[in-house]
Amino acid sequence: MTLPPASTPPASTPPLWTTADMAAAMAAETSGPLPDHVVGLSIDSRTVSAGEAFFAIVGDRLDGHDFVTKALAAGAALAVVSQARRSAFPADAPLLVVPDVLEALRALARAARARSPAKVVAVTGSVGKTSTKEALRVALRADGETHASTASFNNHWGVPLSLARLPETAQYAVFEIGMNHAGEITPLVAMVKPHVAIVTTVEPVHLEFFADITGIADAKAEIFTGLVPGGTAVINHDNPHYDRLKRRAAQAGVEHIVSFGEHPKADARLIRYALQDDGSTAEASILGTLVDYRIGAPGRHFVLNSLAVLAAASLVGADLALAALALAGQRPAAGRGTRIDLALPGGRALLIDESYNANPTSMRAALAVLGQAPVGPRGRRIAVLGDMLELGAAATALHAALAEAVVANEVDVVFCAGPLMRSLWDALPPERRGGWAGNSEELEPLVLASINAGDAVMVKGSLGSRMGPIVKALARRHPAPAAADNPVRG
């Protein structure tokens, strides 16, 4: 097997790691002609860029070693491989050889944290982790160089990868930490070592893996165990589990605890707000400072989480005024409220893409956003909903209970996909039933045939319910011109 020579990144791309420092951090054996440095890290041969290091992670389904040749051909400067697989590659391949690739990535992550002068914020919670992380990226970037984890890289490989990508020059860093079992957050936050740890909320998510919701609260509270000495816990005062989280923080040795919410005793307190279909305005007291600001993403949940964002910004020393002003530029992340303009005969329709994931709390929030969405003269508000997974024995009741939110938010028509969503279908008033199917693939043609000009359509479900293809099918069938006018003219 012949491998192409390692690619050279553009001269303007700053080094992320010298190869010598990488090898030392990971206790790696060097092999082949290696570059002086790498400009990034990748675990995906499909998206690796010139000059990056490719880590051959062994996953649940795929072994990264099978893609090393492809990664190097695509421009990777070197590959990190295991000793057990070294013989699969030529002697002159540019490699760093380690006993275990994932453990090597974790070692590099710890080295990144040790060398970084950045103020670090970590975010967890049943709902709102990614959007809060993205809001922090926007807010802190207004004050200085900010690094934040990509997409939802919040698990056992995503967190170390995001941390190992932390540039030495960053002034601020933000990491999302997730879990669906007890004990998962503790080792991840031990690597991140945040100065501020946020718990957005505790809700009945992943109930399949917990005896009750207090177990979820305790699992989320693990984030406090990694705080640096003198660090601060930021907790949702409006959540029923606030006192429990506060006790867990104290038990972890945290002396500084800040609360946020509408509660009159919250340290970051919402005074008033106004919701619009394309964003919100808010007035809040952030640790004693009055702030008026706009949030570019629509929904009350974005308003409440902005309190935690601004509290964290203040706690890490960022300019609060700049952070608040920057939130006007916040936009929903892909699959979490992204708005797509559809062109249909006779006018436009609005598509709200919430297809990335779902749980009872985020589903209600999305239905509330749909309830505020503008429609044309003959338009309807249409919800296209897939199963919410990992809810355990409560799943049937939790799905049926969404009927109340459908009616309260004046959603006109609901399409349901999946066996669990049958419970919602049965609970809906007959006039609001659009269609039910056993899965999203079967539901797709029903939805495509039903959308008219002036409608506002929201698609949401757990990732495993595969609602994303319905979004793509709608956008593909009704592409809007590049220069869009009012998206909901009837």
Residue with tokens 């290696």: 34
Let me know whether 84 and 142 are in one domain.
Answer: no
The structure tokens listed for 269 are: 């307190």
pLDDT at 13: 77
Does the pLDDT of residue 485 top 50, yes or no? no
Identify the band that residue 488 occupies on the pLDDT scale cut at 50, 70 and 90: very low
Q: What is the pLDDT of residues 396-419, one digit of tens each?
A: 999 999 999 999 999 999 999 999
Q: Does 301 map to a domain?
A: yes
Q: Are residues 308 and 447 in the same domain?
A: no
d(CA 265, CA 179): 29
C-alpha torsion sign, points 392, 393, 396, 401 = negative
Separation between Cα atoms, residue 88 and residue 56, nearest integer Å: 13
pLDDT value of residue 490: 34
Residue 105: inside a domain, yes or no? no
How confident is the model at residue 35, as a pLDDT?
97
Residue at a domain's end among 329, 357, 379: 329
In percent, the amount of the chain with pLDDT more than 90 equals: 84
Do both 349 and 366 map to the same domain? yes
Whether 90 and 126 share a structural domain: no
Q: Starting from the edge strand earliest in sequence, which strands make up the sheet with 456-460, in order?
A: 338-344, 347-354, 456-460, 381-386, 413-417, 433-437
pTM of structure: 0.85
DSSP letter string, 336-390: TTEEEEEEETTEEEEEEEETT---HHHHHHHHHHHHHS---TT--EEEEEEPPPS
Q: CA angle at residue 265 from 260 to 271, to 5 degrees?
A: 65
Does the annotation list 129 as a binding residue? yes
Determine if residue 126 is labeled as part of a ligand binding site.
yes
| Per-residue pLDDT at 12 | 65
Inter-CA distances, 82 with 1, 36, 72, 118, 148, Å:
18, 21, 16, 31, 28
Residue 111 within a domain: no
CA distances to 35, 153, 213, 264 from 424, rounded to whole Å, are 57, 31, 22, 36
User: DSSP of 224-264, one letter per residue?
Assistant: GGGPPTT-EEEEETTSTTHHHHHHHHHHTT--EEEEEESST
For range 172-201, the mean pLDDT: 95
CATH code of the domain containing 432: 3.90.190.20
Residue 106 lies in a domain: no
β-strand partners of 279 = 276
Q: Smallest Cα–Cα separation from 82: which of 102, 62, 67?
A: 102
Give tens-digit pLDDT for 299-323.
Answer: 899 999 999 999 999 999 999 999 9
- Report the alpha-carbon distance of residue 442 to residue 346 in Å, rounded: 27
Q: Answer yes or no: do 385 and 297 share one domain.
A: no
pLDDT at 152 over 80: no
Check pLDDT > 50 for residue 1.
no
**Domain boundary, last residue among 51, 69, 100:** 100
What are the structure tokens assigned to 334, written together? 């892909």
Q: Do 153 and 238 share a domain, yes or no?
A: yes
Question: What is residue 487's predicted lDDT score, i.e. its pLDDT?
Answer: 39
pLDDT band at 486 (very low <50, low <70, confident <90, very high): very low
Residues 452 and 395 placed together within one structural domain of the fold: yes
Task: Look up the domain containing 181 and give its range.
Answer: 116-329
Q: How many domains does the chain have?
A: 3
Angle at 256 between CA 229 and CA 168, to 5 degrees: 45
Per-residue model confidence (pLDDT) at position 334:
82
In the prediction, which pLDDT does 480 show? 84
Summarised one tens digit per residue, pLDDT across range 87-110 is: 999 999 999 999 999 999 999 999
CB 163 within 8 A of CB 185: no
Domain boundary among 70, 100, 130: 100
Whether 108 is covered by a domain: the verdict is: no
Average pLDDT of every residue of the chain: 93
Same domain assignment for residues 168 and 201: yes
Predicted local confidence at residue 484, as pLDDT:
42
362 pLDDT more than 50: yes
User: Comparing C-alpha atoms, which of 171, 161, 163, 174 is closest to residue 130?
Assistant: 174
Task: Say yes or no: 471 and 419 in one domain.
Answer: yes
Which residue would you say has higher pLDDT here, 179 or 333? Answer: 179
What's the CATH number where 257 sits? 3.40.1190.10
pLDDT (tens digit per residue) in 228-283: 999 999 999 999 999 999 999 999 999 999 999 999 999 999 999 999 888 999 99
pLDDT exceeds 80 at position 10: no
- Residue 155 C-alpha from the chain's centroid: 11
Are residues 143 and 92 both part of a single domain?
Answer: no
Determine whether the annotation assigns residue 128 to a binding site. Answer: yes
Within-domain flag for 372: yes
CATH number at residue 34: 3.40.1390.10
Average pLDDT rounded to a whole number, residues 366-389: 95
- 3-state percent helix, strand, coil for the chain, nearest multiple of 5: 35, 25, 40
- List of residues 6+ apart from 169 with CB closer than 8 A: 14, 145
Q: Binning pLDDT at 50, 70 and 90, where does residue 4 land?
A: very low
Residue 431 falls within a domain, yes or no?
yes
- Do 214 and 284 share a domain, yes or no? yes
Q: What percent of the chain has pLDDT over 70?
A: 96
Q: Is residue 72 part of a domain?
A: yes
Same domain, 301 and 359: no
